[in-house]
Amino acid sequence: MDSNSVDKVRASRDGHAFHERWAARRALKLVFPQDGLFAIAIEGLSTNETAKPGEAAEDIADLTLFYGNGDKLETCDSQTTIQFKYKAIPGLETSSYLKKTIQKFTDTLSGYEKEFERELVDEKLTFSFVTNTDFSSHLWRQSNL
């Protein structure tokens, strides 16, 4: 299937459904917590967040998970920012496809480090992707840097 034959409206709806279903399944874990999940924010940061890590942080946060006893970076034990990547046409995730997302993850780290010690940010903040496709093999190779 090529990109010209994709129904863009249907693909958009499918992408939203993918996001919503994944977030709903994760939210159900708040009912019977087993892993310390305390709160979630959908499409952005917590409304209680007092830090101002920047526009990229809001942009990139399709789902933000808070563990411990707080719903902001300062009070939680850990915070995971999740970016959903849905492709209507099956294909591998590549570094070029993820480039803008990774830059926003980096900008978010920098934004938080303007307000908190780097050690605290490194200890608490993580990022992840949720996708309906596989990562290309070059994304899994270990760097020799």
- Map out the domains of the chain as residue ranges: 3-140
Model pLDDT, residue 24: 78
Q: What is the mean pLDDT of residues 133-140?
A: 79
Q: What is the mean pLDDT of residues 59-78?
A: 93
Provide the pLDDT confidence category of residue 33 given band limits of 50, 70 and 90.
confident
Model pLDDT, residue 14: 67
Provide the pLDDT confidence category of residue 145 given band limits of 50, 70 and 90.
very low
Model pLDDT, residue 141: 66
Q: What is the mean pLDDT of residues 112-126?
A: 96
Provide the pLDDT confidence category of residue 142 given band limits of 50, 70 and 90.
low
| Higher per-residue pLDDT: 115 or 130 | 115
Q: Does the 3-140 domain belong in CATH 3.40.1350?
A: yes
Mean of the per-residue pLDDT values of the chain = 84
Q: Which of 23-37, 79-93, 111-125 shows the lowest per-residue confidence on average (mean pLDDT)? A: 23-37
Q: Which of 1-15, 48-62, 82-96 shows the lowest per-residue confidence on average (mean pLDDT)? A: 1-15
Spell out the SS3 assignment of the chain. CCHHHCCHHHHHHHHHHHHHHHHHHHHHHHCCCCCCEEEEEECCCCCCCCCCCCHHHHHHCCEEEEECCCCCCCCCCEEEEEEEECCCCCCCECHHHHHHHHHHHHHHHHHHHCCCCHHHHHHHEEEEEEECCCECHHHHCCCCC
